[in-house]
Each structure stands twice: as structure tokens, then as C-alpha cells.
Amino acid sequence: MLAIGLMSGTSRDGIDAALIETDGEGVVTPVAFHAMAYDDGFRVRLAESCSRAMDMDAPGFEPLIASVEAELTALHVEAVADLLGRSGYGAQDVGVIGFHGHTVAHRPDRGWTWQIGDGAALAGAFGITVVGDLRSADVAAGGQGAPLMPVYHRALAAELDKPAAILNLGGVANVTAIGADGELVAFDTGMASGLIDNWMQAHGGATYDAGGATAALGRVDEARLAAMMADPWFAVPPPKSIDREAFTIEAVQGLSVEDGAATLTAFSAQAIARGIGHLAERPACIHVAGGGRHNATLMAMIAARTGVEVRAVDGLGWDGDALEAQGFAYMAVRRLAGLAISFPGTTGVAEAMTGGVVFRP
């Protein structure tokens, strides 16, 4: 069927909307993609919502978060309308929407994860069935609720030599390893662009480090990097996940803009190297998706610190910007078919399971 996938990621830069045709198994045909940026004011409100949610004991009513959820849902309606207009298809042609919403807090250590976004309102806006809240069932069953992309990565990587590794660089980084026998192992490795973006917004007069140009001018403070890498989370074996708010830029305060950017970029790369060290089979190449692949300094640091060749997934014919949105479309189709989206090796759940709440129009 035709399916739409929607992703608002930890980079908090906007909405990715993808239309694919898939059976939820081995058939995946990309049809259209549209990225819609958030304005600066909404980014600030969304960031504040995430900060407030992390301070809460459990998901519940909070005025700012409720207001931002309504805004977020309206923006997703706009993104779907734009995508359909660009694709030439109508709402009546689409079988399902996979609606990730936006993660305001991810606390599997406390037994909950919180993605805001009104699935019922989105279903009503288009008359299309929506699958939302894709992580909560996994967390309730004892899993980490993340990462969820591995099932889609496996479908795309069917023809790749194994073992294969696919790295997603959003606000947070996560890796999918596909063994020679097809077994999936996946986990968050730590930060990707999140802290670098925070640093540039606070000190660099920009929303992000375009191309890694600022970091390229700086020197890595190895002592501060070592202190950041001493966090016990990095020694925890996978599967594991982490919230973007788990680390801050405080560790590099006092450095120049360039040295701070370089050190935070190295923090992301070193964490990925530590993660690759957890794998039973070392990949010959790391295929990289997500916005972070456009950061040449980060890509070079990953290669240097892992000792593994690093390539953007675009070289495989995949759209590295669209991958996550496509994945949630794929998972929505799997949910309707009762197929698994999370596995013991990806989230730590006891047995493979489907997930997501179905909202009928």
C-alpha cells in the first residue's frame, strides 16, 4: 500500500514527510519526500517543552507542552498536505500514516517514553488511518523503545554484504548492525548533532555548525573529552537508548567557539567508536544517514576514531534525509499487518513485538 511516514527528530529542525509504497516486508519503493523547517520561535518552545518534560516524574498535563502539542499537530497536517500536493496523490490513495510525533522525554529507566502529537486529529484531518505512539508498548514490555529504525534498515540492506552497519546521525546517534546471519543488534551510541547545535546556538550565532566548518578550525580538548566519555552510560552493553537532554554543553564552557565545537564533535565521534567496539562483528564500512552526514568534520572524526570506512548512504541509492520518515511509514504498514517492529537485539524487549496505537478516521 501507499504509506506516509512523519518524523520530527531530536535535532528539532523540522518535519520530514515521506511517501513510500510497501508491503511492510521486502518491498519498498520511495515515491516522494518533503522536509518542512520549523521557525525559530517554535524551535525554542519545543526545546523548552523537552526540558520541562524531562523534569517530570511521568507524562501528564503541562500547559506549555499541551500548547506545543497542538502546534506540532497542526504543522504535521500542513506537512502531509504539502507532501500530497507534491506527489500527485490524494488522501484517498494512502492506506496509513506512521506518525512519530516528537519525543519530549525518553525515560525507559523510569518505565516511560513520551511522544507528543495528536494522532486522532491527524487521522480526522485527512480521513487516513494513523499509527502513532510507536515506542510506548515496547517500553511497557521492558524494552528501551529505541531505536526503531533497524527493521527498516534490514529491509533496505538486504543486498548489502554482511556484516553491515548503518549509522543514523540526528540529534542523537544510533547504529544498526546486521550480522552475517541477518541478526539485528541496534542501540543509541550517544550524541550526534544535538550538543553541537546547542553550542552553536549559544555561542556561535548559528543554529548549527554548517559542514563542520567551525569545528574544523578548533582543537579538541582531550582532557574534557575524556571526562565526558567517563560517564558510566558508555560502558553499559547494548541494547540501550538515551535522551538528547542526558548531556549538556556545560563540560566545554570556557572554550573558544571553535574549540568547543571541535570537542563536542569529537565527543559524538568517540562515543560512536565506543559503540562500534560493542559489536561482535566489526563492519568493513559504516553507512551513514541523517543530517549529521553533511558535517564533513564529524564524518572525518568518526572514520579516524573508529578506524572504519565511513560513507553516506546516498551512495547506495538511498535518500539519507528521508530514511527515518520512510521507516515510520514502513512500520505503520507492519503494525496494520501485526508484524514486529522491535526485537530483543534492538530494544532489549523479551521477544519480537509490534507496537503503535491505531487511530481510525
Residues comprising the chain, all counted: 361
Q: Tell me, yes or no, whether 187 and 226 share the same domain.
A: yes
Handedness of CA 282, 285, 287, 288 (dihedral sign): positive
By residue range, what is the domain housing residue 165?
A: 150-316
In the three-class reduction of DSSP (H, G, I as helix; E, B as strand; rest coil), residue 215 is classed as helix
Q: Tell me, yes or no, whether 46 and 92 share the same domain.
A: yes
Pairwise CA distance, residues 307 & 294, whole Å: 20
Q: Tell me, yes or no, whether 224 and 293 share the same domain.
A: yes
How high is the pLDDT of residue 183?
85
Q: pLDDT-based confidence at 128, cuts 50/70/90?
A: very high
The answer to whether 243 and 105 are in contact (CB under 8 A) is yes
> H helices within the chain, ranges in order?
40-54, 63-87, 119-126, 136-140, 150-156, 194-199, 213-216, 222-229, 257-276, 296-306, 323-337, 344-347
Torsion of CA 26, 130, 6, 71, to 10 degrees: 180
- Percent pLDDT > 90 in the chain is 94
63: exposed, middle or buried (Cβ count in 10 Å: 0-12, 13-18, 19+): exposed
Q: Tell me, yes or no, whether 194 and 113 share the same domain.
A: no
Q: Tell me, yes or no, whether 234 and 329 share the same domain.
A: no
Q: Tell me, yes or no, whether 250 and 338 share the same domain.
A: no
Q: Tell me, yes or no, whether 303 and 168 share the same domain.
A: yes
Q: Tell me, yes or no, whether 169 and 291 share the same domain.
A: yes
Verdict on whether the full-model pTM lies above 0.85: yes
What is the tally of structural domains in the chain? 2
Q: Tell me, yes or no, whether 118 and 188 share the same domain.
A: no
351: exposed, middle or buried (Cβ count in 10 Å: 0-12, 13-18, 19+): exposed
pLDDT in tens, 63-115: 999 999 999 999 999 999 999 999 999 999 999 999 999 999 999 999 999 99
Determine what percent of the chain falls in helix, strand and coil, rounding each to the nearest 5.
45, 20, 30
Handedness of CA 152, 111, 356, 102 (dihedral sign): negative
Q: Tell me, yes or no, whether 6 and 99 share the same domain.
A: yes
pLDDT in tens, 219-270: 999 999 999 999 999 999 999 999 989 999 999 999 999 999 999 999 999 9
Amino acid code (one letter) for 96? V
Q: Is the predicted pLDDT of residue 181 greater than 90, yes or no?
A: no
**Domain of residue 11, CATH code:** 3.30.420.40
- For 72-85, b/e burial (b = at least 16 CB within 10 A) is bbebbbebbeebbe
pLDDT in tens, 316-349: 999 999 999 999 999 999 999 999 999 999 999 9
Q: Tell me, yes or no, whether 309 and 168 share the same domain.
A: yes
Q: Tell me, yes or no, whether 100 and 123 share the same domain.
A: yes
Pairwise CA distance, residues 78 & 72, whole Å: 10
